[in-house]
Structure 1
Amino acid sequence: MTDDSKAIVPVWTLATGDVRVPVLTGDEPMTPERLAELRGVLAALADAPIATLEAHPLPEKVDRSRGISLDAASPLAQHLSQLIAQTTQGSSKAAAVTASGEGLYRMVIPAKVAAQVAQGIVSPMGSKAVAGGVHGAFQDATGKIVAQATLVPVGQVAAAGAAGGAGATAAVAGSVALTVAAPLVLMAVAVGVSAHADRQRQQAIERITELLEQLTEDKLNDERRELDGCRFAIDKATAILLDQGKLGVSLGLDSAAHAIGKALIDADERLGRWRDALDKLPDGKPVEIATLAKSFPGIDDHGGTFRTHLEIAALAIALQRRVIVLQAVEHAQSDPDNLFENFTRELKRDQQRLDEMESGIAGVLVRLSALELARPGGRRPVFTGNEVDRLMRVAHRIRRLGEGVTTTGRAADVAIEIARDKDGSVVVFPALAA
């Protein structure tokens, strides 16, 4: 994309069912702010989930290793190709932008809908994580932010394909043109959420590996290996489901789910012990380091068992997020006439326990970060410089436990970015807060 106010960005309004909403926009260009308002209004008025899909130029450099690759024959790639082919026939501007066959397609799901399909899964990423993302689509070659593009709605075209297909357009007199694309939205959400959860797994593994280098506890290392080994079965199951295949026992997904379940039980028991330990501390009084280290071993060190337990819990949660998405996709594909309702119902079913666990761990970290440390006990009125330095060092580490803790707040729009190559293959990047 160039820094040019005449740059054209086609925008599709996608519905996951036959809905009717008032006319909110015609074929006139829109600003990004106007598009955001439109998404919110459509989400509020429509009974079925509404999303928008923007077609941006593909950046010269895109880190495809962060996403999930699907070939041109995959259902998601085919649905996207079908949408482009059938809807751009009625829009010369959209046809011109998509003529090369490649591009970065950005699907944005409003907060209302995101709360249904991705609550607890997608959360805002920090600047460091975003810098490693694919937002180059909104920058020029020098990294300068470009926000001058003209957003052009893709107008109504003749209905194509069966209702619920990737190219069926639902529009009646007095309503806005909505392309019914439930399979496309379903697959994009499934792959984007799965990629996001796998990104969390990778980050947790990196931190666990670093922490275990400072420990000699074989049990923790075994826990890490068993959990990380589950990803092979999950990766295979993801690939099969995204190709609309059937899962079999030979994949080992049942064994992986069992191992993840055991890890979650361990994490829940540890969370209970941490809460009990904090409840037993005297209110409003300083706590000695030695007392704290009994319940939170290694909290006074750079690594430590406690921090490793935190990362193992994060790893188990990330893996379970992917399993939940697999279960939801499998269930939704078993009833293709009712994709999104089944999909959201399955996602919600097991998410609550994970959300509660993450919230509980966050609460423990916040409580720990607020503790005041006492000086070492003893009869000496004066303490050595080393003792003072250690007290300050540990206090600083404990305060930092509360940094970066994500607390549940107002739901944000969820963005899923899809890089499409000329051969029709796609790479779906981790879903993130728009």
Structure 2
Amino acid sequence: MSDPTPEVVPIWTLTTTAEMAMPPVKLDEAMSAGRLAELRSVLAVLAEAPVTTLEVRPKPRDIDTSRGLSFGSASPIAQQLSSFATQIPASGSAAKSSEVVYRMVVPAKVASQVSGGALNPMQSKAVAGGVHSALVGKKGIAAQATFVPVTASAATAGAMAVAAPLILLTVAAGASVHAEQQRKAAIERVTALLEKLHQDKLDDERNRLDGCRNAIDKATAVLLDRGNISSSLGLGPAVHVIDTAIAAAEHRAQGWRQALDGLPEGKVELPALTAAIEGIEDAGSEFYAHLELADLAVALKRRIIVLQAVEHAQQDEGNAFENFAAALKLDAQNLEKLISDLDDVRLRLSTLQLDRSHGFRDFTFSSSSVDRLLNTSQRLRDLGDGVSRPLGQSDIAIEIVQDSDGSVTVLPPTAAS
């Protein structure tokens, strides 16, 4: 098998403020992926403000853009990316194509605030435990890259481009599309449950929540195009519906945790568990529907928080990214408390040791009772799969696909490999 064809990847170092000087880091004419990773680590330590890196590669034929958020050629993101494209060296392989993929890597010191600890790395199928970036085709990695530093003005090697609006809009778009993926998954799960329940009240709760999506989509498009949100978009009523659902989820999570606190230590008899949490033994019960509705409310709230943070940051464009991260962190604290409570419920249920009833009249244990115990035990263990697994302080990568007509699609963030 022949080695992959080397490709030249232009790379920029971007900052959010013009007042920050480049740390004393030497940038050679070319560097490897390992050197680039070292550069990011050094910049994270030495730079006064977070420094992102931006790479550009030819667009793979089989990249999936259906899961992203699209913007027209006249959008601020597309225009600012186009301005960088004019600086690509003629020798760069990306310069040969009008369709490219930009990859922005956001430093770990702010990545946790951006992602909410909800991102998971894309797992490698080739190596157990390995991860890679989202920019891979069906045939795997197509080339070994050589990274060539590019400056905002070809003046001096080591200069940084000031790109606060681009960083803010890209990160906001990536966070928004990630939250939208969570919403889609949650609405699919809760819809499947409600089809079995035939509960009109829960149907209404689901429909009110899902009905907020159009207002959020419109407000997202307006803000990321640097417009102002007006009352005609209907975001205010949507926020009220979501906040009401969040309050209901908080109340339910508190009740579940209190019920679990009242269970005995060690093995728990199934009748005692079903008395504490009604419907826990039935996969189509209101308990599981309420759990999925809570996930749906959380996913929608994440999108609202991103919108509020963008609006706040754009009021002071001088330090947009810093304002964005601060607003996002502040608004997300209460939401993270709810997520933590829901994770606690799932984790405690998934680790319960269930036992059959040992009451005075329980002389026999029928096959149906055995099946009920085993099915409930498996169902509870499966709840552990829904527990959030934060990445901690990990850089995140956001892929931006630019087509020949100038339009761009921002893909969901992943952990930077």
TM-score (norm 1): 0.88
Contact kept, 8 Å, 1:420 with 1:426, in 2: the verdict is yes
Contact kept, 8 Å, 1:59 with 1:136, in 2: the verdict is no
Residue aligning to 2:26? 25
Contact kept, 8 Å, 2:398 with 2:412, in 1: the verdict is yes
Q: 1:240 to 1:3 in 2, by over 3 A?
A: farther
Per the alignment, in what secondary structure is the counterpart of residue 157 of structure 1?
coil
Partner Cα distance (1:201, 1:403) in 2: 17
Aligned pairs (5 A) from 1:6-155: 6-18=6-18, 19-85=20-86, 87-88=87-88, 91-94=89-92, 97-120=94-117, 122-124=118-120, 127=123, 137-139=135-137, 142-146=138-142, 148-155=144-151
Partner Cα distance (1:380, 1:322) in 2: 51
Residue aligning to 1:299? 280
Q: Which moved more, 1:373-382 or 1:206-215?
A: 373-382
Aligned pairs (5 A) from 1:163-178: 176-178=158-160
Per the alignment, in what secondary structure is the counterpart of residue 55 of structure 1?
strand
For the pair 1:157 / 2:153, whether they are aligned, the reply is yes
Q: 1:316 to 1:28 in 2, by over 3 A?
A: same
Partner Cα distance (2:172, 2:273) in 1: 42
Opposite residue 270 of structure 2, the aligned amino acid is I
Partner Cα distance (2:190, 2:356) in 1: 31
Per the alignment, in what secondary structure is the counterpart of residue 417 of structure 1?
strand
Displacement after TM superposition at 1:299 (Å): 2.0
For the pair 1:416 / 2:398, whether they are aligned, the reply is yes
Partner Cα distance (1:230, 1:33) in 2: 44
Displacement after TM superposition at 1:213 (Å): 1.3
Query: Number of paired residues?
Result: 406
Aligned pairs (5 A) from 1:34-433: 34-85=35-86, 87-88=87-88, 91-94=89-92, 97-120=94-117, 122-124=118-120, 127=123, 137-139=135-137, 142-146=138-142, 148-155=144-151, 157-158=153-154, 176-284=158-266, 286-378=267-359, 379-408=361-390, 410-433=392-415
Displacement after TM superposition at 1:46 (Å): 0.9
Per the alignment, in what secondary structure is the counterpart of residue 195 of structure 1?
helix
Per the alignment, in what secondary structure is the counterpart of residue 53 of structure 1?
strand
Contact kept, 8 Å, 1:15 with 1:182, in 2: the verdict is yes
Contact kept, 8 Å, 1:196 with 1:432, in 2: the verdict is no
Question: Which 5+ residue runs of structure 2 have no aligned equivalent?
Answer: 125-131
CA deviations on 1:355-402 (whole Å, 9 max, x unpaired) are 111111111111111111121344343312222222122112112211
Contact kept, 8 Å, 2:17 with 2:318, in 1: the verdict is no
Residue aligning to 1:168? none
Identity over the aligned pairs, expressed in percent? 50
Per the alignment, in what secondary structure is the counterpart of residue 91 of structure 2?
helix
Contact kept, 8 Å, 1:43 with 1:113, in 2: the verdict is no
Displacement after TM superposition at 1:334 (Å): 2.3
Contact kept, 8 Å, 2:108 with 2:395, in 1: the verdict is yes
Q: Which moved more, 1:43-52 or 1:292-301?
A: 292-301
TM-score (norm 2): 0.91
